[in-house]
Amino acid sequence: MNTEHDGVRPGISRRTLLARTGAAAAALAVGPVIGGIQPAMAASWRVPGEDAPHKRTWMAWPSSSTIWGSLLSKIQADIAKLAKEVAKYEPVIMCADGSSAASQARAACGSTVTVISSIPVSDCWMRDTGPLFRVDGAGGLDSFGLNFNAWGENATTFYGLPYSAYSKDRVLAGRVAAYSGVGFSKSSVVGEGGGIEYDGDGTLMATESCWLNSNRNPGKSRSQVEAELLARFGATKMIWLPGVTGYDVTDGHIDGTARYIKPGVVMVQLAGDVRPDVWTANAQAMYNVLSNATDARGRRLQVLTIEGPDTLPRIPSGKRADFLSSYMNWTVTNSAIITTQFGDTAKDAAAKAAISAAYGRPVVQLNLDNLYGNGGGGAHCVTMQEPNR
């Protein structure tokens, strides 16, 4: 192998405040021990890139007043808006926590979104809680989970939420896999889908701040974490990026700053004027590493850039620094890219044009201020694609 260097309490973003020490969760071992880890997968399995054809998108309906309090209806409105947009391009299954929540979700999302109540959920962050689906190139499909532990128990550390607030999401991945009728196994490392990017062609990108963190993988070396992730994703090379520890509940998920467009091509959002210096420096550091990186095929990465907004006219000035002003947190559908707009007319238009040109697909920009502001997550955070076999 080769190496180169959120549920939320009301009023507090998933991506704000300084963290204290989070509770550690033990990794779950599966399969035979190989080099001190347990990858346990056939070499043919791989997680395809997000631009590969999808069978459907999975989402989860937020209904917990313990987590959201008085903000719940606003978050639900943004989830419904996004689900209806995704459903224009591919099927959407929305998991709701029981019949009452399902009825509420159906009323909000309409008939184009399939709502089910048979898979209990705690919150809406399907990217972090759902399974990662893999294909084998011969019509096979299986999946694995990353042992979601509420972002290293930061949900408790940051917001004082009880451990039980995310009890259903801790086992959600396996239940989604069972509904889809595919095999499921647990990784031997702890993390979240929003914490890793994959090109489907052998290369991964991830932040050290998420994966090499004692609140997720205590006692594991970088080489052990890397080997397990490479094995699970069917990849051969990891590009490690620094990230930011302790400034948000995710410890610096990569999907707000750097994304794969396709094999050999990545995009980085350089921070606009509204982002605090720590995130500006992080974006520049990611750009610097990626500009000098090669992938598993030996290709020098093409690094595209966009800039974040310079102003957030709809957001009170006191809340702008904590707002997740990321165009990068888009979700890919079969025929369009869905991202956000923030009201900075020039920057919104430039981001839309750049993303559309990169993918060769139309880009839809939605106003998701409540999800991005009060939730601190975006369209990518609340969706998980299931690929075609």
Q: Return the domain boundaries, the chain.
A: 2-387
Alpha carbon distance, N-terminus to C-terminus of the chain: 27
pLDDT tens column, 150-189: 999 999 998 899 999 999 999 999 999 999 999 999 999 9
Average pLDDT over residues 241-246: 92
Which amino acid is located at 365 in the chain? Q
CB distance 291 to 299 below 8 Å: no
CA angle 265, 269, 271 (to 5 degrees): 160
Tokens of 106: 């159906």
Give the model's pLDDT for residue 17: 32
What pTM was estimated for this model as a whole?
0.90
Cα distance between residue 212 and residue 199, in whole Å: 21
Give the model's pLDDT for residue 216: 98
What SS3 class is residue 146? coil
Domain covering 2-387 assigned CATH 3.75.10.10 in the classification: yes
Residue 306 phi/psi, 5° resolution?
Answer: -130, 170
Q: Which of 95, 109, 210, 381 is catalytic?
A: 381
Q: How many CB atoms lie within 10 A of CB 280?
A: 15
Cα distance between residue 29 and residue 8, in whole Å: 29
Burial zone of 91 (CB within 10 Å; 0-12 exposed, 13-18 middle, 19+ buried): middle
Known catalytic residue at 381: yes
- Torsion over CA of 89, 202, 237 and 40, rounded to 10 degrees? 100
pLDDT tens column, 310-352: 999 999 998 888 899 999 999 999 999 999 999 999 999 999 9
Kindly indicate the confidence band of residue 24, based on its pLDDT and cuts at 50, 70 and 90: very low
- Report the percent of the chain where pLDDT is more than 90: 82
pLDDT score of 40 more than 80: no
Instruction: Give the dihedral sign, CA 222/26/242/330.
Output: positive
Burial zone of 328 (CB within 10 Å; 0-12 exposed, 13-18 middle, 19+ buried): buried
Residue 12 phi/psi, 5° resolution?
Answer: -125, 125
Give the model's pLDDT for residue 10: 36
Give the model's pLDDT for residue 236: 98
